[in-house]
Structure 1
């Protein structure tokens, strides 16, 4: 009697792929949500694009920086002092000379504004060492920031926006802002009382954020730096401001450079124990150690429309080895907002959207 051979064993069922698909989908969903939140598409988080959007509400000038829109390109070099090398191992402090490219500008978003009427003047620099490392700086004439947070800056910007009916900020909104951010009263007092300088050349420029200098022996210290002019300070009075030509500062700078280079001492101030290094609205005590670490020398200037500074993002978080960032949230926020502004204006420039100057003559209408 014959018997049938046993049936072959049933092969094992392959594991379901659905759990893997579900896991991948979940990861993608989480990443998409995080991206949307970071971009400001969901939630109420203040992002760099939102901040720049609100700056643009005050007036959009395609192809120009959203802030500090009006300025000129400058170039020269940096020479360190012997003391600098002991404070930081950055290569710009160990080589005899470093080339400098930069920009002098005024506050505000009008690329054709009256320069003598600008309360804030600025200096932005790129120091490029022989090894290719860059140190980018963005400094202003005010000695400290108005507020201690990005949200505070946003609130200040909204409160300062002119009322269409009066052309001036709404007093109630400004009062509410000061009540919420009392540290801003110190900045307002500076703006009202500090004398105006008569030139970009005799203005002190301050890097208001703290950074960490790291030396070759492994030591470190938190510092803030300033560019202090060797040209003597001369005040600019109210009558002179009102009578000055729109390009007053640029013309003055060009005239001074024709007589020779302009110089600023780079002065570094060390933080003491307990000094706030993450709050740029808080000045450090005046008795803190100060060191002259070098001299910035500017030799020439040229128009920002065609000069090398036009397409440079002066991101203050780009630093060389031997210099590190602090935990200052304003520092990170500046870098993010600068990047958004840079990308937008570069795209506008590529598309040929830069408007003509107000003095340009419009073409005659064709019959």
Structure 2
């Protein structure tokens, strides 16, 4: 009989790396980060999106990340509490219409919902003055890496081996060893499990932004959406259902609207704004800025979210980007992915020949 592996054996360590890598790969696929300002021979949006396709495959007409998703519509009901920190019209008391999208990370639009432990929420708020606020959030409190270069290196380490169809655990372990900043995310990933519903998740902005008030005072912030629904509300069967998230959402909305509270965390001067791998201390002041109310869901191929590029740098007056290097990188890659998929859609049977270009600020 073979001797069982010890708790710290090479086999056990490789197995642990593989499990962690599966969750990390989801987060890696959840953002398309690359800095458009980087030298072309080092890193470009095209190069990074190509790598995403190498890892997940290419599905014509779909987003290169978050390919599987559904559209949602509703409104944001501001209570006016954030108006003291931001002059953005969305924070004035009253309602702002919202077009959003729930999704799971990855480039495969046919992936089972249970295959990944992370869910995403993207929103477009359209103010009465015509300005927009777009935000993409994920159901994890930190991002694995802090720079576009590290993100690209992580993608390379997780590219499937042609011989096995799976990432090489040794390459993943080497990447983690070279990037200790991934520790917080790896700790979270060890216990992360696929949830039963989009409606019961909290969604974090991950990146920091800056609110600007009517007197031009700047306040660094992060935000998250926290749900009113709980797992106890979920009575939908998930057995043998690869698309249970969309089905659950539809069923819940037949019983009434779904609500989240927009909770804004105000940074202290010492809190880092350029590192998405670090959380801010729990004692930071938090304000409830209002309630997101979602009333309807539609398929993404025909719904209102289909042609929206949820670029996080589309911001209204009163919100500006922080110094987080992932933000311009993320914007550049989103634009590249958008142009690829809409160009492909124009050549697919039954689709329009012309699609709108990405909207800008």
Between the aligned partners of 1:259 and 1:217, the Cα distance in structure 2 is 44
Between the aligned partners of 1:208 and 1:84, the Cα distance in structure 2 is 19
Write out aligned runs for 1:77-116 (5 A). Answer: 77-116=75-114
Between the aligned partners of 1:157 and 1:126, the Cα distance in structure 2 is 28
> Does 1:328 pair with 2:324?
yes
Aligned to 1:152, the other structure's residue is in SS state helix
TM-score (norm 2): 0.83
> Residue 254 of structure 1 is aligned with which of 239, 250, 256?
250
> Does 1:215 pair with 2:210?
no
Aligned twin of 2:302: 306
Listed one character per residue, the Cα deviations across residues 300-359 of structure 1 (whole Å, up to 9, x for unaligned) are 00000111111110000001001111111101111000000000101000111799xxxx
TM-score (norm 1): 0.81
Report if the CA contact (8 A) 2:120-2:139 is conserved: yes
Between the aligned partners of 2:295 and 2:303, the Cα distance in structure 1 is 14
Moved more, 193-202 or 56-65: 193-202
Post-superposition offset of 1:82 = 2.8
Aligned to 2:320, the other structure's residue is in SS state strand
Write out aligned runs for 1:79-158 (5 A). Answer: 79-158=77-156
Between the aligned partners of 2:77 and 2:41, the Cα distance in structure 1 is 47
> Residue 194 of structure 1 is aligned with which of 174, 192, 195?
192
- Structure 1, unaligned runs of 5 or more: 1-37, 356-367
Between the aligned partners of 1:65 and 1:151, the Cα distance in structure 2 is 22
Between the aligned partners of 2:296 and 2:348, the Cα distance in structure 1 is 28
Report if the CA contact (8 A) 1:268-1:291 is conserved: yes
Post-superposition offset of 1:165 = 3.0
In the alignment of these two chains, the number of paired residues is 315
Report if the CA contact (8 A) 1:117-1:241 is conserved: no
- Structure 2, unaligned runs of 5 or more: 1-34, 352-361
Between the aligned partners of 1:337 and 1:157, the Cα distance in structure 2 is 14
Aligned twin of 2:334: 338
Listed one character per residue, the Cα deviations across residues 144-164 of structure 1 (whole Å, up to 9, x for unaligned) are 110011111111111122223
Post-superposition offset of 1:166 = 3.1
Aligned to 1:130, the other structure's residue is in SS state coil
Aligned twin of 2:60: 62
Report if the CA contact (8 A) 1:116-1:249 is conserved: no
Aligned to 2:225, the other structure's residue is in SS state strand
Aligned twin of 2:73: 75
Between the aligned partners of 1:248 and 1:293, the Cα distance in structure 2 is 31
Aligned to 2:207, the other structure's residue is in SS state strand
Report if the CA contact (8 A) 1:202-1:234 is conserved: no
> Residue 162 of structure 1 is aligned with which of 160, 163, 187?
160
Aligned twin of 2:23: none
Report if the CA contact (8 A) 2:209-2:320 is conserved: yes
Query: CA 1:47–1:294 in 2, change beyond 3 Å: closer, same or farther?
Result: same
> Residue 52 of structure 1 is aligned with which of 43, 49, 67?
49
Aligned twin of 1:275: 271
Post-superposition offset of 1:235 = 11
> Residue 284 of structure 1 is aligned with which of 259, 280, 301?
280
Between the aligned partners of 1:296 and 1:158, the Cα distance in structure 2 is 37
Aligned to 2:75, the other structure's residue is in SS state strand
Listed one character per residue, the Cα deviations across residues 124-159 of structure 1 (whole Å, up to 9, x for unaligned) are 000001110100011111111100111111111111
Between the aligned partners of 1:42 and 1:296, the Cα distance in structure 2 is 40
Between the aligned partners of 2:327 and 2:258, the Cα distance in structure 1 is 28
Query: CA 1:353–1:325 in 2, change beyond 3 Å: closer, same or farther?
Result: farther
Report if the CA contact (8 A) 2:80-2:93 is conserved: no
Between the aligned partners of 1:349 and 1:187, the Cα distance in structure 2 is 35
Between the aligned partners of 1:41 and 1:75, the Cα distance in structure 2 is 36
Post-superposition offset of 1:199 = 0.5
